[in-house]
Structure 1
Amino acid sequence: MKMTCHRRFALLVTLSLLGGAAHAQSEKRILDDRCWDLSFEEPFDTLSLWNESTREGLWRTRYIWPRDVIINDEQQFYIDPEEHGVSPFSIDDGILSIEANPTPRALRGVVSGQPYISGVLTTEKSYSQKYGRFEVSARLPRGGQGLWSAFWLLPSFEQWPEGVAVLPEIDVMESLGHQPNTYHTTLHTNQTGELTSFPFDHTLKADLTRDFHLYSVVWTPETVTWYLDGKRMASHPTPDDYTRPVHFLLNLAVGGSWPGSPDASTEFPASFDIDYVRAWTDNGSCNS
């Protein structure tokens, strides 16, 4: 999601009826919870933040690179409650909200000149998994132009691997604030020696900013397949460089080379609301 510039091409995928009862039953079984063992669950009853000193906690509030490194020409700075005295995160009745706002005057000197503040959460230091089913129940941000929310997966390393510009990446869900009926799924791979992206854009009748929806991906050695509310949306063969366990990332960006800058119509505060994040492993009971 966050290491590439605006995609140069896209395959438009619209929601349609699955053909054939047998096919429909087969697809339904793929996300049947009885076929999976729950391996990770974050219900956001509380928010456990990673502590760099004690190396305890679950969610880290920055990427693997330094906090002041700004990518994709984005206009937000990802802040930390302890470090900056302001929190972009709140929990209300089990719903996590990541909130973006114009930078307050008190922080203008410590956010690399960025005009907005927001939040990112990653399990880079605490949890990763190879293969399985990964999903988030989320309500996408309302507010319009310049908002960019995402749930995505990256391979885990102790430090950024030398000589690698972009890591392999699975984007489970990306959303642009001015497109409330559309979300995006993408594979990024370096298997040919240079970055290649395989994007799928899903335009629906529903306004995804009004209700919670379940965004899922199933990653196997053979395929990567995306689902919305249990319905198959797209699939692609697994690239050869998808060999490491992945960690989870949630963020709300503002501006950048893809969504463009906020304008007079953009509403702040903007909120990306998450009910839960889960991961599952295939228990083998539905493979026959």
Structure 2
Amino acid sequence: MTTVRAQAKRPSAKHPHDDAPDTSAEFQELSHLPDGPEKEALRRHVVEAWIPMAERLARQFRNRGESLEDLQQVAVLGLVKAVIRYDPARGTAFESFAVPTVVGEVKRHFRDHMWGLHVPRRVQELRNRVRAAHRELSHSLDGRGPSVREIADHTGMTEQEVRLGMEALDSYTPLSLDAELPGSEDGYSLADTLGDQEDGYDLVVDREAIKPKLSTLPEREQQILYLRFFCDMTQSRIAEQLGISQMHVSRLISRTCASLCDQVMADAS
């Protein structure tokens, strides 16, 4: 059997395309080799021979928000999968099998890792069709953007599908909250449109929840709470005014507040 070293050095006949070498002999040998180091070495040799094609396919997707280096790595991963799965006995040329495998891997990378918002696959496909149609029609409509009806007629999609795809155009890369709003002349951004947390809302809810409970308290407890929390009187002054000890006032306040809290929580549950 031919050694791995000899296989690695053996030149392959060239395909008419510079980045598509003829590795049919290698694939035939791979199909008969048992799993092991020799087969892995020959498979690695085939992958290296086809890397230029994978990188060429990756370049078709540049300028879409992902670095070319990362795209090429994803394309090579698709190439490795194609080399492993290819069966020369089916009679199909490796290039015909590998190209859709590599392109599919790159598209899957965009679908699974590059969308800033989760968008269903069907909507992603509509978005891609709308995007392609918009680019094609913009060259033939005197520079103006195509209408929804024109895109629908061009693609065979319904107008509803076109609108759905157009909405997804802005979902690929979310707009920063610091981005200036269109038409703004003073740097007004999305962040400026967000409201701050309003603690007063919780206070209103708490007051409304406890209001009916206060009316059921004995008159003395109502008076003590009123003087303490609405008149801001100290416990010692309340004790003097009511003729009881400060310790008694403290116990009444603690007991009454705990009881009110338990009642409100019980109603909430």
Q: Normalising by the residue count of structure 1, what TM-score does the alignment of the two structures yield?
A: 0.20
| Greater gyration radius | 2
Q: Normalising by the residue count of structure 2, what TM-score does the alignment of the two structures yield?
A: 0.21
Structure with more strand by fraction: 1
